[in-house]
A and B are shown apart, each in its own frame.
Chain A
Amino acid sequence: AQRVTQPEKLLSVFKGAPVELKCNYSYSGSPELFWYVQYSRQRLQLLLRHISRESIKGFTADLNKGETSFHLKKPFAQEEDSAMYYCALRPGDKLIFGTGTRLQVFP
């Protein structure tokens, strides 16, 4: 079965604290994984993709095939990081999303 699991609905941290948003996947093939973000009153947009191994806005995510995880991390959270974050898996021509984690960063 193809599935993306984000166990936390809400994650609240203070500014400057480290952040880790968890994502686990279930897929028998070679996974292609993404993180999307939806800021308040903005469209859902791509944050980063595992294949690029890039850091965007200070966020990184490493694919761990052994643990079937793709956790999103940032060492020092900022207030502007407050948003809804979705992990997504691409099997074929479609994208399957997790249930999302709302990140709240307090001043």
Chain B
Amino acid sequence: NAGVTQTPKFQVLKTGQSMTLQCAQDMNHNSMYWYRQDPGMGLRLIYYSASEGTTDKGEVPNGYNVSRLNKREFSLRLESAAPSQTSVYFCASSETRANTGELFFGEGSRLTVL
């Protein structure tokens, strides 16, 4: 019963490098989300996908791109990493808003940009 799986769990990048965070869910959920968690800032929404084939910007989308590859997978890409993107990234999924609105979270990916 995996739920939401994120890879990698840890990553260290140099400024300017690119990388993709992968997320997959096995609950047949329609909606998927990427958040970043920073001390004192809480969780901030980067991008979300309400359904397969759609993506929308959240509160802090600059410097990121996303791909909803299929219903299961939602990836987050950093094209040119910056130190300000050092954070813990969480992927989440949920049923449509017609349901309870409960989000199921992954374990997080800790990214350090030097």
Chain A residue at minimal CB-CB distance from B106? A43
Question: Which residues between 75 and 114 of chain B lie within 8 Å of chain A, taking CB atoms?
Answer: 90, 92, 94, 96-97, 100-103, 105-108
A93 with B50, Cβ < 8 A, contacts A86-B43, A100-B42 known: yes
Count of A-B contacts with CB under 8 A?
55
Contact A97 B102 (CB under 8 A): no
User: B25 at the A/B interface (Cβ < 8 Å)?
Assistant: no
Q: A43-B107, A44-B90 are in contact. Are A97 and B101 (CB under 8 A)?
A: no
Residue of A nearest to B30 (CB): A93
* Chain A hits for B41, CB < 8 A: 99
CB distance from B68 to the nearest CB of A (A): 13
Which residues of A come within 8 Å of B, CB atoms? 6, 9, 32, 34, 36, 43-46, 49, 86, 90, 92-100
B50 contact set on A, CB distance < 8 A: 93
The 12 sampled A-B contact pairs (Cβ below 8 Å) are A43-B106, A44-B90, A45-B105, A46-B102, A86-B42, A86-B43, A90-B101, A94-B48, A95-B45, A95-B94, A95-B103, A99-B42
By size class, the interface of chain B is 20 to 34
Contact B105 A9 (CB under 8 A): no
- Indicate whether B58 reaches chain A with its CB closer than 8 angstroms: yes
Contacts A93-B48, A93-B50, A94-B58 known; A43 to B33 CB distance under 8 Å? Answer: no
Chain A residues with CB under 8 A of B56: 93-94
Q: Which chain B residue shows the least CB distance to A90?
A: B101
> In the complex, A45 Cα to B106 Cα: how many Å?
10
